[in-house]
Chains A and B, each alone.
Chain A
Amino acid sequence: MTWMVPSTQTRTKARRVTMSDAGIATIDRTLEPGMGVFNKKLGMWVFLLSEVMFFTSLIGSYIILRYAHPDHFAPPGAILNVNLTAANTFLLICSSVSMVKAFAAIQQGDVKGLQYWLLATIVMGASFVGVQVYEYIGLGQEGFLPGLDDYAAHAGGPLYGATFYAMTGFHGAHVSLGVLALIFVYIRALRGEYTVADHEGVEVIGLYWHFVDLVWIILFTIVYLI
C-alpha cells in the first residue's frame, strides 16, 4: 500500500488501513492525530470561527455607535416591522429544523427523505431572503437609507440605517450563499451521491446553515427587539 491516495476524502481512511497494514495495531490512541472528525467538518468549524470574528466586527461597531449616539436609533417597532421579521425569523428556525431532518434522513440511508427535507430547507431559506428584499424595498421607500445625505425616515438618524443594512445585508448575503450551496448539495442528492456511509457534504453544509441561523437570532434580538 503506498502513501499516494486519490483524494482528501479517502485520505483519513487510507491512512488507517496503511497503519494496520504496517502492524501497528497496538498504537496508543493518544498518539493518533486529529480530533476524531473528518477534514471537511473540522475545516468548516475552523471557518465558522473566522466568520464569528467577521460578524463580531460588524456587531461590535453597531454596539459602539448605538451607545455613543442613542439619538440616531429609533425605538423598536418605530420604523422596522417587527412582526414581519419575527415571522421571517420563525421561517429560518424552521429551515434549521428541516436541515436536521435532512441529515437524520441520510444517516438512516433515506435518500428520498434527504431530497425532500433539503428542498424544504432551500425553499424556506430562499423565502427568508425574499422577505428580506421585500422589507428593504419598503424601508427604502420610507427614506430609511444608509447614506448620510439620503436618510429621510421619520425617526432615528443615518447611523441607524447604516448599521441596519450592514449587519442584515451581510447576513442576507450569507443566507443567499447558503441557499446556493444547498442547491448544489440538493443536485448531488438527486443524483444519489449521498449514502449512509458517505454524506459528509450534507453534514458540512448543515453546520454552516445552523451557524447562519444562530447569527440571525442574535441580530434579530439586538437590531429589532432591543
Chain B
Amino acid sequence: MSSAISMGDSHSEDHHHLGFIRTYIFSTDHKMIAKQFLVTSLLFLAIGGILAAMIRWQLGFPGQPLPFNLGAILPNTMAPGGIILPEFYNSLVTMHATFMVFFALMPLMAGVFGNLLIPLQIGADDMAFPRLNMLSFWITPVAGAVMLASFFVEGGAAGAGWTSYAPLSTSGEWTGVYMGQILWLVSLIILGFSSITGALNYVTTVIAMRAPGMTWFRIPLATWSLFITAWLLLLAIPILTGGLILLLFDQTIGTAFFRPEGSGEPLMWQHIFWFFGHPEVYILILPAMGFVSEVIANRSRKPVFGYHSMVVALVAIAFLGWIVWGHHMFQSGMNPFLGMSFMATTVVIAVPSAIKTFNWLGTLWKGDIHFDTPLLHAVSFVALFVVGGLSGIFLASAPVDIYLHDTYFIVAHLHYVLVGGSLFGIFAGITFWYPKIFGRMMNETLGKIHWTVSFITYNLAFFPMHNLGVQGMMRRIYDPNQYEFLQSLQSTNTFISKSVFVFAGIQIIFAINFLWSMKKGKKSGDNPWDSNGLEWTCPSPPPHGNFAEVPIVYRGPYEYSHPDREQDFWPQDEAPVDDLDGPEYTDPNESTESNDE
C-alpha cells in the first residue's frame, strides 16, 4: 500500500504492488471497475438474450417443445415436456426486459464507459470518489444474484412485466408469483444504490476534476453525454426507488398505496414509474449518442458538425425527458386534456433529436470516411435511431397511440431504439475504445462479419413487428393463434423468430473476437485511430494514475483535417508552436466551432 502513495515515476510498479485482490477484485481504479462492469454486463446481456430466444421460440413455434432437449433442463413448473407454460412466458417477458434494461444496457453505458472515459477524457487521474466507485460496481452482482434467484423460488420469477403495473404486481393472486415479485423489487432497490453512487461520482468528477484548459465546450461529446446521463440517473432513480419501496410495502406489510381494494391508486404507480421511466429511456440512449458522435467525427476525419448544438441538444433532450411521461399513459384513463399537453411536449423532443441526426449526417458529408467496424456500428445507430424515432412520433400522437397502444408496434419501436440505437451504439463504443481498454485491436474481419450479419438479421427480425402491431397483435401475448384474426400472422412470427436466432447466434462471433483479441490481437499503440482526445495520449492500457503529468488542454476535441496542418489530427494537449514559452488560451487558429458561436 505504501508504495501506491509514494511519488515514484513508474506507475506500473505501483500497480504491481497492490496485489491480486486489490488489483482485480476490490480495485478502486476506474479502468479496472470499467472492465468489471464490461464483463458482468455482457454476461447479463447474454442472459437477457437467452430469455429473448425462448420468447421467440414460443411465438415462432407455439406449443412445440424447445429444441436441443432444453426442456429436460428446465423444471416442470417452467416448461413441462419442453413446452413453455403461459406463467413462465410472463416471467420470460418480464425478466428479459429487466435484465436488458437494468443489468445490461445501463451498466454497459454508464458503468463501463462512464468509468472508462470520464477520467481519461477530462484528464483526471481517477474518479472523485474511487472507493464509492468500487461500491457502485459491487452492488451490481449482488442485485443480479437476487434477480436470478427469483427464477428458483416457488411461483417463479416476476411476471407482471418490467413496468410491474399495479394492481397486477401488488398481489400474487393475479400472476401466481409471490416471492418472485418481492425479489424483483428488492433487487431493483439494491441496484438503485449502484446507479446513484455511480452518478454522484460522474457528476462530481466532471465538474471538479477537469485538467487545466478543459473548459465546458472543450469536453468530448462522449463525456458530455455521460455527464447529462449521470444527472438523469441521479434525479430519476430515487423516484423509482421510492415507488418500489411503496410497492414492496403493499406486498409485504399489507399497505394499500396502489391497491384499489384499500382505496389506493393503481394509476399513481404508473405516474411514479413513468416519471422515472421516461428519463430512463434517455439514460439508455444519450451515452450511445455521445459514442457515435466521437466515432463518426474520428472516422470521417472531420470536426463534429455543430459541436455546440450537439451539447445543447443533449441538454434539451434530457430536460424535455422530464415532462413527457404521460405519453405512456394515453390509454390509462388520464384526463384527455393532460394527454394533449403530453403529446405536444413529446413531439417537441423530435427537434433536438433531429438536430443531432442532421449534425451526424453533416459530419459524414464529404468526409474522408474510413469504413472500420466502429464506424459501421455508429452509422447503423444513426439509421436505426431515425426509424425508432419516427415510429416514436407515431406513438406520441394520442389518436394513433390509442390504436397502436400495447401492440407489437410498441415492441418494434422500443427495440429499434434500444437494440438498433443503444446496442449498436455500445458496439461502436466497445470496438472503438477496445484498444484503449486492452491495448490490442479487435479483429477487423470478424468485426465486419459480426456487423453485417447483425445489421441484416436485426432488421429482418424487428421491422416486420411494425406490421404485426398495426394488424393488432398484442404485446406480451403468449399465443396469438388463440385469436382467429391473428392466425394469418404465424408465418411472419416464425420468420421473425428465425431472424432473431441468427441475430443472437452471430453475437458468438463478437464474443470470440472480444476474448481472442484480448490475448492475440494486434498491439494497438497509444493512438490507433489518430484521435485527438486526452484518452489517446496515455499508454494503452493506461497505468494507475493515467497521465504521467497533468495534461494541459489547448483546443476542442474534434480538430481533424485542419487546413493549416500537415497531420490530419490535432491532439487536445499539443502546445501551439508559436507559444513554446507557456500555454496560450486565446489562440486565433483555435477550433472552428468556437468561432461560429
Interface residues of chain A, those whose CB is within 8 Å of chain B, are 1-8, 11-12, 15, 18-19, 22-24, 26-28, 30-35, 37, 39-40, 42-43, 46-47, 49-51, 53-58, 60-61, 64-65, 68-69, 72, 146-150, 157-159, 161-163, 166, 170
Would you give 15 A-B contacts (Cβ < 8 Å), ordered by A? A1-B549, A5-B125, A6-B5, A11-B209, A31-B213, A31-B585, A34-B208, A39-B204, A39-B208, A46-B204, A47-B200, A49-B234, A53-B236, A54-B239, A65-B265
> Once the chains bind, are A57 and B238 in contact (CB under 8 Å)?
yes
Closest A residue to B214 by beta carbon equals: A33
Tell me how far the C-beta of B220 lies from the nearest C-beta in chain A, rounded to whole angstroms. Answer: 15
Chain A residue nearest to B209 (CB atoms) is A33
Interface residues of B in 218-261 (CB under 8 A from A): 234-239, 241-243, 245-246, 249, 253-257, 259, 261
Surface stretch bound by A, among B8-16, B283-291, B368-376:
B8-16
Residue contact B238 to A43, C-beta cutoff 8 Å: no
Known: A43-B129, A50-B200, A148-B254. A15 touches B550 (CB 8 A): yes
Q: Are A158 and B125 in contact (CB under 8 A)?
A: no
In this complex, which of B128, B234, B545 has the most chain A Cβ atoms within 10 angstroms of its Cβ? B128
Contact of A46 among B203, B254, B259 (CB under 8 A): B203
- What chain B residues lie within 8 Å of A4 (beta carbons)? 7-8, 11, 14, 125, 544-545
- Interface range on chain B (Cβ under 8 Å from partner): 35 or more
Known: A24-B552, A33-B209, A53-B235. A39 touches B255 (CB 8 A): no
Question: What's the minimum C-beta distance from B556 to chain A, rounded to whole angstroms?
Answer: 13
CB-CB under 8 A from B583, the residues of chain A are 24, 27
The CA-CA distance from A46 to B235 in the complex, in Å, is 10
Distance (whole angstroms) from the CB of A5 to the closest CB of chain B: 7
Interface status of B196 (Cβ within 8 A of chain A): yes
Chain A residue nearest to B215 in the complex (CB): A31
Contact, CB under 8 Å: A50 / B235? yes
Judged by a CB distance under 8 angstroms, whether B588 is at the interface is no
Bound together, the chains give a CA A33 to CA B210 distance in angstroms of: 5
Q: How far is the CB of B81 from chain A (nearest CB, A)?
A: 41
CB–CB B210/A146 < 8 A: no
Q: Which residues of A contact B546 (CB under 8 A)?
A: 3
Question: Which listed residue (B9, B245, B264) contacts A2, Cβ 8 A?
Answer: B9
The answer for the CA separation of A55 and B242 in the assembled complex, in Å, is 8
User: By the criterion CB–CB under 8 Å, are A8 and B130 in contact?
Assistant: yes
Query: Do B212 and A31 touch (CB < 8 A)?
Result: yes
Known A30-B215, A69-B263, A148-B261; contact A3-B550, beta-carbon cutoff 8 A: yes
Instruction: Identify A159's interface contact among B8, B9, B130, B262, CB under 8 A.
Output: B262
Return the 8 tightest CB-CB contacts between A and B, nearest first: A57-B242, A33-B210, A147-B254, A54-B238, A162-B255, A148-B262, A53-B238, A6-B5
Q: Is the CB of B237 within 8 A of A42?
A: no
Docked-complex contact A2 and B7, CB < 8 angstroms: yes
* A157–B235 alpha-carbon span in the complex (Å): 32
